[in-house]
């Protein structure tokens, strides 16, 4: 659910310089909300900022940045491409989002930050020169001549507060493997009660990872995410998107509107959901 952003009438003018050391002129407005964290999408880059206003100024430089999260303790500023991000309550984080451009001034590029708390109007000369922007969580992003920051996944942030869940940085999955046997609808309901989903297997990497988890937890079969209306309809994920990756057993998909793995081959099969199997919950 998109959290309503907070408006008020405080403006901070920030002088920004481009990577080319040339100045562009643009007045950019932002909305912000304290103690919230963006949970939709993956950061396209992470930077160091001294304040939320400086985080906003860095976002204003990058046309691909439409929203950002600022961590007050670490000073990390995470860029996102989403205009209207989904957020959740999270202490120590602040969400900012670009809104409409209100005007142009000569010789400077300014950022207006709409804040919920009073802030003095201050002009800050930017000390951050962007030399590279990471689009991969494993890459290092360089800001200025000396600062190096590795991007932190939003999934990792969510996983840090989820009881019983583990974050696997190698594949960026927050999960809980459940060996207890459940019918499909009950397995899905158990995940939903954790604000999670049944595991979404959308690539060979995730499929192989799931097989490793089954081996590690002594699990023979799992239900995983995907439902259809009838055997002539496509399987859809929880968001209604058509699934495209499958590793079917021979002759599959057969009758059944849900998905599970075979107990011997571990390949995918359609299922009626009327037998009890283990499952893996995933938070994203």
Query: Which pLDDT tens digit goes with each residue over 176-212?
Result: 999 999 999 999 999 999 999 999 999 999 999 999 9
φ, ψ of residue 94 to 5 degrees: the values are: -140, 130
- Which CATH number goes with the domain that contains 79? 3.50.4.10
φ, ψ of residue 55 to 5 degrees: the values are: -60, -45
The range of the structural domain enclosing residue 112 comes to: 14-152
Looking at the structure, tell me whether residues 246 and 273 fall in a common domain.
Answer: yes
Question: Does residue 8 sit within a domain?
Answer: no
Flag whether pLDDT at 231 surpasses 70: yes
Q: Say what the pTM is.
A: 0.52
Looking at the structure, tell me whether residues 18 and 148 fall in a common domain.
Answer: yes
Residue 152's pLDDT is 56
- Express the helix, strand and coil content of the chain in percent, nearest 5 each: 15, 35, 50
Provide the mean pLDDT of the chain: 76
Question: Does residue 9 sit within a domain?
Answer: no
Residues 6+ apart with CB under 8 A from 232: none
How many domains, the chain?
2
Final residue of a structural domain among 137, 152, 167: 152
Q: What DSSP character marks residue 236?
A: B
Looking at the structure, tell me whether residues 59 and 115 fall in a common domain.
Answer: yes
Looking at the structure, tell me whether residues 22 and 145 fall in a common domain.
Answer: yes
Looking at the structure, tell me whether residues 161 and 148 fall in a common domain.
Answer: no
Which residue would you say has higher pLDDT here, 78 or 223? 223
Residues 6+ apart with CB under 8 A from 74: none
């Amino acid at each position: 659910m998109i959290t309503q952003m907070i408006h008020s009438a405080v403006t901070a003018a920030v002088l920004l310089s481009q990577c080319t050391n040339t100045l562009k002129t643009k007045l950019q407005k932002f909305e912000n909300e304290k103690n919230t964290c963006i949970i939709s999408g993956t950061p396209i880059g992470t930077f160091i900022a001294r304040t939320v206003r400086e985080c906003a100024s860095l976002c204003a430089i990058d046309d691909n940045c439409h929203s950002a999260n600022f961590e007050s303790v670490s000073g990390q500023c995470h860029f996102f491409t989403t205009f209207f991000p989904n957020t959740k309550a999270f202490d120590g984080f602040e969400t900012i989002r670009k809104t409409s451009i209100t005007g142009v001034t000569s010789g400077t590029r300014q950022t207006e930050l709409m804040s919920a708390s009073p802030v003095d109007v201050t002009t800050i000369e930017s000390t951050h020169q962007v030399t590279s922007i990471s689009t991969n969580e494993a890459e290092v992003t360089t800001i200025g001549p000396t600062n190096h920051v590795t991007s932190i996944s939003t999934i990792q942030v969510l996983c840090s507060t989820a009881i019983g869940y583990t974050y696997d940085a190698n594949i960026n999955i927050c999960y809980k493997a459940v060996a207890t046997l459940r019918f499909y609808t009950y397995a899905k309901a158990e995940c939903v009660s954790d604000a999670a989903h049944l595991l979404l297997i959308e690539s060979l990497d995730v499929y192989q990872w799931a097989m490793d988890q089954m081996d590690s937890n002594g699990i023979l079969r799992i239900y995983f995410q995907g439902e259809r209306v009838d055997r002539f309809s496509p399987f859809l994920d929880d968001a209604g998107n058509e699934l495209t990756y499958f590793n079917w057993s021979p002759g599959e998909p057969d009758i059944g509107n849900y998905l599970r793995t075979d107990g011997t081959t571990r390949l995918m099969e359609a299922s009626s959901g009327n037998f009890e199997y283990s499952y893996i919950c995933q938070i994203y």
